[in-house]
Structure 1
Amino acid sequence: MSRSKVLALGIAALAAACAGISPSRAQCRLCDRPTTSAPSISSDSQVRLEIETRLDFDRLILAGEGGGSALIRPDGTTSTEGAIAAIAGRAMVGSAAIHGEPGRAVRVEMPQRVELYSMNGGRITFDQIVTDLAALPRLDSAGQLSFRFGGRIRVEGDAEGDFRGDLPITVEYL
């Protein structure tokens, strides 16, 4: 007997090292030494994290009793193991964008494990969280960096329902 379960992961993002952005200033046309260089951005500029797509496992099809797992990698490929027979075709990796000072190196921290809960009190685990970030991520010349993330859902027993949780992501300048 097959049962269908909806597993979804809502994302909450925390941006660390947030400070105010210095206001832009116009060049004085009456000054005797005008400059044409771009204004420098101070080292206390704000770094922002924006979630573009939430991670969503959509529906997982259970082929029987017992546990299993479903994996979505940052490149969008999926796999299943154990009692989970399939991941629905609408499953999506998460994607985020970091905005800040051009050229700055950043550290992105994600938890090792997150518990997801359903409205009826069920609990499953989201772990093996991975991104497609380089080993030393750096904002581009426009002050932006996009990345994708995925991970593994582990289902044990007869967990059923719509599961949700928060994945805190911390971003800070190095």
Structure 2
Amino acid sequence: MSSLFGKIPKKELSQALKAAVESGDQEALSVALAAGADAAVVLDQYCARGNVNLICVAAHENQAEVLEPLVGAGACLDHREAGYGHTALHIAAIEGHPEVLQELVYLGLNVNTADNDGDTAIHYAALNGHLRCVERLLKLKANIYARNNCQQTPLMYAAVDDKVTNTHC
């Protein structure tokens, strides 16, 4: 198959791979990877986030099913985006994607990974009122008592704007 796709420029392969990840199209993902697309590519700009990889894109787009093939093809599971140092786990918690959270932890990402401010995924799930994400993270052994650099816990975040009673994910 690589001879069939051998003349496709790297940039176009990367774009095809990114589109497959965004849409969750596993067949297109397989074709792009077989054609030589680099699963470890880092995108300079994506949804106002800089320096993200395809694992982060999948987390943002709620595409849990493409995570395992990406990791298997060499994508960095614990990549951190520029700025806040968010991993895909933080992004999934911010966006409210419990299935992505579970898959990331299953694949080996530490559920208690902190960003540059010391916030973990459960901080972000609580802050954004994503109750299903909080519940999933607790089942995955997230530390509900984790304190960030300002000594704030997820419960303190949940209390902001009365998010504690919000049951929408």
Say whether the fold is shared (TM-score over 0.5).
Answer: no
The structure showing larger relative contact order (alpha-carbon pairs under 8 Å, at least 6 residues apart) is: 1
TM-score normalised to structure 1 length: 0.21
TM-score normalised to structure 2 length: 0.22
Greater helix share, structure number: 2
Greater strand share, structure number: 1
Larger Rg: 1
